[in-house]
Amino acid sequence: MTDATILFRDALQSFYGPLDWLPVPDGAIHRFRVPDDKPGTLNGWYCLFADGVASGAFGSWKSGSASTWCSREPVDAREAEQVRQRVEQARRQREAEQQRRQLKAANLAQRWWRDARRADPDHPYLIAKGVRSHSLRQRRNELLVPLYSGGVLVNLQRIAPDGSKRFLFGGRIKGAYSPLGRITPGKPLCICEGWATGATLHESGYTVACAMNAGNLKPAALALRAEYHTTEIIIAGDDDRQTATEGKGNPGRTAANAAAAACGGLVTFPEWPADAPLTLTDFNDLAAWSRHHAHA
C-alpha cells in the first residue's frame, strides 16, 4: 500500500467524510458510494495514478462536481506535463462513462415510455396537485414525466402516489426539459421548475417547459434560447420564502433571476396574499391554496 493511496483517500475524505476502503491506483475510473447517498448507489468516481508524481481526480455524478489532486508540486516541466496529461485522461474517461450512462438511461426511458399507458387522471399525485394529466404516462403506480433534449427523449421523472420523485439512474437532466403545449412563434414560453407548477401554468394558457429543479433552470433556458432565438421567455420561478426566513437565502428566486439574465428573459414569481403560509413556494401551491381558501 503506497503513501499516495493514503494521501488520496485523505483528500476524498475531506470532501465526502469517512470512507472504509482504499483507492486502487491503476489509472482506471472507479465508482464508490458517496456516504450521504442512498444505499446501493455509486455516484462517486475517482481515478488515481501512483507512479511518478502521484495524481488523480474525483467527483460525484450526482452533484456534477469534479476535483483534481496531486501528492506534491511537480519539480520540473516533464513532471508537470505528466500530471497535466493524467488530468486530461481522467476527464476523458469520466466524460465517456457519463455518456455511456446517459445513453443507457435514454434507451430505458424510450422503452418505458413506449410501453406505458396514459396516466390515470385520478392518480393521487394529480388529485393532490389539482391538475390534469396532460400528456403524462403511467407505469404501474408511477407517473412518468418525459424529459427531452434536442428533441430526443433522454430521461423520465417517476412520481409515486405519495409524490416522491426520482429520475432514471444516470439519466441526463442538465439542459433537458419537459414540455407542456407546442412552442409557437409569437407566443411566450414559460420555464418553471416542477411539472405540477408547469401544469398549473399550462392550464392558465401558457406554453411551458419544466426544468425539474432550480439548478437546471439556467441550462434549460439556454438550451431553449439556442433553439428558439426570437421567442419571449418568461422564467416562472419558485419563491422559497421559508428558507429565506431561516437565513438560508432564497434558492428559487436566485436561480430564476440568473436564468432570466442568461437567456434574456423576463422573470415572474407568485404574488402571495398576506395570509398565505410561508410553506407555499410555487404557482401550483398558490393555485391549490387559493382553491381551498375559496371553498373554506
pLDDT value for 294: 82
CA distance 104 to 169: 9
User: Is the pLDDT assigned to residue 1 strictly greater than 70?
Assistant: no
Q: 240 and 267, same structural domain? A: yes
Q: 145 and 68, same structural domain? A: no
Q: 122 and 61, same structural domain? A: no
C-alpha cell at 263: 437567456
Q: 235 and 141, same structural domain? A: yes
Q: 62 and 121, same structural domain? A: no
Mean pLDDT of 191-204: 98
Is 20 within a domain?
Answer: yes
Domain that holds residue 53: 3-104
Taking the complete model, does pTM exceed 0.85, yes or no? yes
Is 249 within a domain?
Answer: yes
pLDDT value for 177: 98
Q: Virtual CA dihedral for 190, 271, 130, 123, nearest 10 degrees? A: 60
Q: 199 and 68, same structural domain? A: no
Reported as a single tens digit per residue, the pLDDT across 213-265 is 999 999 999 999 999 999 999 999 999 999 989 999 999 999 999 999 999 99
Q: Which of 67, 83, 104 is the last residue of a domain?
A: 104
Q: 277 and 227, same structural domain? A: yes
Structural domain count of the chain: 2
Residue 89 confidence class, pLDDT cut points 50, 70, 90: very high
Q: Which of 104, 133, 158 is the last residue of a domain?
A: 104
Is 109 within a domain?
Answer: no
pLDDT value for 254: 98
Q: 203 and 278, same structural domain? A: yes
Q: Which of 104, 126, 156 is the last residue of a domain?
A: 104
Give me the count of residues in the chain: 296
Q: 138 and 86, same structural domain? A: no
CA distance 244 to 187: 33
pLDDT value for 52: 86
Helix, strand, or coil (residue 111): helix
Contact present, 45 and 29 (Cβ < 8 Å)? yes
Residue 296 confidence class, pLDDT cut points 50, 70, 90: low
